[in-house]
Structure 1
Amino acid sequence: MKILIVLRAPTGGLWRHAVDLAETLAEHGSEVGLAIDGGFSDSQTERGLARLEGRMSLGIYRLAIARQPGFADIGAIWAIRRLAAKLGVDIVHGHGAKGGAYARFAALGMKNRVSVYTPHGGVINYKVGHWDGDLLRRVETLMLGLIDAIAFESEFARKAYAETIGTPRCLWRVIHNGLGEKDFEPLPEPKERFDFAFVGELRSVKGVPVLLEALSQIRRPDGSPATLVLAGGGPEVPTAHALCKTFDLCDRVKFVGVQPAREVFAQSDCVVMPSLFESLPYVILEAAATGKQVIATDVGGVNEIFGPYSDRLIPAGDVQALKAAMTRFLNDPETGGAEGSELKDYVREKFNIARMTGEVERLYKDALAGRKA
C-alpha cells in the first residue's frame, strides 16, 4: 500500500504515534510519506524526523498548517490533495482535527483512495462554549459523512466523539496506542534522584497545581520534605514557578524543561500523572513500561491502560487523594514497586506497536475494499 500520513504539530503523543506507525508500516513493506506543519519544531520533532530519515520512501513534506481554522486551510487542503495525487497513494491517514479534515478532502471523490482519521482527542479536547471548540465541533459534524474509516485510540475517545460530534457513519475501530520493546528496556543511570517525577506540559489541565499543592503537604517517613522533578514546557511554566513560591517548594522542585521521558523516569521510583483530562496518554504508557509505581487519575482512557488495576486510580483534582497516594508510596515503596511490575506486564501484553500497526493495516484494507465495492 501507498500511505500518506498527515498531521499538524509534530510534537507530543500524537507525534510519537505517527512516527511509530509510519516507521512500522514501512518495515512491513508499505510505501509511506509524511506531511506536517513546517512552522513547528522542537527537540521531539527533530528526534522523530531523525528516526524516519531514509525510511519514508514517499518523502517528508513540511507545509504551512495553521493551528486555528481559517482561510489558510483552503491552500493547505489543496496542497495535500495534489500531493496525494502526485504520490498515487491508496490511503490518506489524518491525525488530529486538522489532519483528519485534510485527509477527508484529499480522498473526496476518489475511487481508489480512502481517508482514515485518528482523532487523538482532537475536537473533544475543546471546552463547550468556546467559539473555537464550538466551530470545530460543528465542522466535524458536517464532515461526518466524508470519512471512510476512523481509528479511535481509546474506547473513551469513541464514546466522547459519539456524544459531542455524532455516531460515525463509516467503518470504525478502537485501536489502542502501542509501545516498542525499547520502551521496556532498562532505564539509563539517573543524573539525580527525586521522590517523584512528572513528565508533560506544565499546564493546569495536566494537574500541575494539584500536584504542587499536594507535594507541599508531604513528608518522608523520617520527616524530611519530599522532592519532585518536573519535566516539560508550555506557556504556563511561569505559573508553575509562581506556585512553587506560593507553596514554598523552590528547594524541593526541580524544573528541567523538555527532556526525554525515560531519562526523567530514571530519576525517581514513582511517576505522578495527576491530569484533569486525557484521552489515552502515551506518557502513562511509557511510565508503566518502566515498571515504576505510577500514580494517575481516573480520567479519559487512563482506566483502559490500567485495566484490571484501574481501582488504583485516584479522582482528578483531589489534592487530599493525591497526597494520600504519594504518602502511601513513600511509606511502602516495596508495594509500589510490586504494583509497578504488575502494570508493566499488563501493558507489555496489551499495548504494543506490532498489534497496533496490524490492526491499522486491517482497517486500511477493509476501508479500501469498501470504497471499491
Structure 2
Amino acid sequence: MKTRILVIGPSAHDSKGGMATVIEEIQEDRKLNKTFKLDVYPSYRDGNKILVLFYSFFAYCFFYFTKRNYDIYHIHMASRGSTFRKGYYVKAAKRWGKKVILHIHGAQYMEFYHALPIKKRKKVIELLKSADCVIALSKEWKKKFDDEFGLTNCLVIENGINMNRLKSAQNSTSYHNHTFLALGRLGKRKGSYDLVQAAEIVSKEVKDLKVLMAGDGETQEIQRLIEKKNLQNYVKVLGWADFPTKLNLLKECATVVLPSYNEGLPMAILEGMAAGKAVISTYVGAIPEVIKEENGFLIEAGDINALAEAMIRCSTDGQKLEEISRNNVKKIQDQFSMEIMHKKLEKIYESVL
C-alpha cells in the first residue's frame, strides 16, 4: 500500500510566489505520484486581509475534520502569519500520531524570528523541533537554523526547476543584450528602487536600454519614481506575470536582475538560469552558493553604482553572455533541476516513516 502524503501550503493556482510554484511542481511530478499517494491541500490564497483570514480559518477547520488519514504531512511554511497558521496544522498532525515535514520558505525568516517577543520565539523553536524533519533551502539556512534553534532534524533541499517548461527561452533568437528582466514582488527588499536608479545611470551609456519589472507589490510607487526620473522609455512596470507571460519575457531578455537585500534561494534566479540567461544579484541568502563568476555578477546590496556597472557589462559583452548562458543551463541540469529536488524529497519521505 502506498504511503499517503498531504502537501499543505498556498494554493498553486490562487497564490503568487516561489512557494506556490514549488508545490505545483510537486503536485505534477509523475514519479512522486507513482511512488506515493500524494494530495495537495491549499491552506492559503492571496487576497485582502479579510479574505485571507476567512479562507485560512475555514481551510483549517475543513482540514481538521476531513484530512486525518495521511501518513506524512508535508507543510510549506514562511515567516510571520504563515508560521503561526501552520503551527495549528503541525499540532493537529502530531496529535493524530502522524509524521510532519516542515519546508521553510521566506527570505526574512531570521529577521521575523528575532523581532518576536521571547515567548513567541520559544513557540517557534518548539514548533520546529516537533517536526520529524525541517527542510532548509540552502546550506547557509541550515546552519542558521541549527545554530539559532538548536535543530537536529534539519536537511537541505534546494528549489528545483522544471527545465522542459523553459527550454524554448534557451533557444530564443529574439532576445537583446540590452534587455533586463526583474521577476517577483516589487519593493525595497527586492532592490526595485535601486534598479530604477541604476537604470538612470545605464541609460546614459546604453541608449536602447530596456528594464522590464514583472511583479506585484509596490508597483505604483515604482512607477512614480520612473516618471520622476523621466525613465518611461527605459523602464516598464508590467504587473504580475503568469507563466506564459514570464516565458515570453525570458525569451526577450538576456539578463535576469535581482538586487535583493534579503533572499533564500529565489526561484526567479533559478528560472533565469534554466532559460539560459545571465544573472545579476547580491551577496545575500543562498545566492552566493549558486551564482559564481561563471554564472553572472554579484554585488553588495544597495551598491547602485556596482549594479549599473554590471548592467553595462552585460549590455556590451556578448561573448561573456553566451558563455554564461551555457554555464547556467548546465548548472541547473546538474544541480538544481526539479528531478534532483524531487529525488531528495523522495528520500526524505521514505526516511521519516
Q: Smaller-chain TM-score range?
A: 0.7 to 0.9
Is the 1:114–1:367 Cα contact (8 Å) retained in structure 2?
A: yes
- Which position in structure 2 is the counterpart of 1:101? 87
1:32-52, CA deviations, whole angstroms, 9 ceiling, x for partnerless residues? 22221465379xxxxxxxxxx
Matches within 5 A, 1:1-373: 1-8=3-10, 10-24=15-29, 26-37=32-43, 39-40=45-46, 66=53, 77=60, 79-85=62-68, 88-97=69-78, 98=82, 100-111=86-97, 113-121=98-106, 124=109, 126-127=111-112, 130=115, 137-164=121-148, 166-169=149-152, 171-187=153-169, 195-219=179-203, 224=207, 226-234=209-217, 236-259=218-241, 260=243, 261-306=246-291, 309=294, 312-368=297-353
Query: Which has the larger displacement, 14-23 or 98-107?
Result: 98-107
1:166-225, CA deviations, whole angstroms, 9 ceiling, x for partnerless residues? 0224x331011111231441228699966211111111111101111011011476x625
1 CA distance for matches of 2:122 and 2:42?
24
RMSD, aligned α-carbons: 3.1
Residue correspondences, number:
335
Amino acid at match of 1:34: V
2 CA distance for matches of 1:78 and 1:20?
26
Amino acid at match of 1:31: K
Amino acid at match of 2:342: T
- Which position in structure 2 is the counterpart of 1:60? none
Percent sequence identity is: 23
* Structure 1 pair 122–143 and aligned structure 2 pair: CA distance change class (3 A): farther
Query: Which has the larger displacement, 284-293 or 302-311?
Result: 302-311
* Structure 1 pair 302–186 and aligned structure 2 pair: CA distance change class (3 A): same
1 CA distance for matches of 2:107 and 2:233?
37
Amino acid at match of 1:316: A
1 CA distance for matches of 2:124 and 2:62?
20
2 CA distance for matches of 1:103 and 1:359?
24
Is the 1:297–1:313 Cα contact (8 Å) retained in structure 2?
A: yes
1:283-326, CA deviations, whole angstroms, 9 ceiling, x for partnerless residues? 10000011122111111011222257478321111101101111
Displacement after TM superposition at 1:226 (Å): 2.0
* Structure 2 residue ranges without an equivalent (≥5): none
Query: Which has the larger displacement, 206-215 or 152-161?
Result: 152-161
Is the 1:233–1:257 Cα contact (8 Å) retained in structure 2?
A: yes
1:343-369, CA deviations, whole angstroms, 9 ceiling, x for partnerless residues? 22112110112221121121122111x
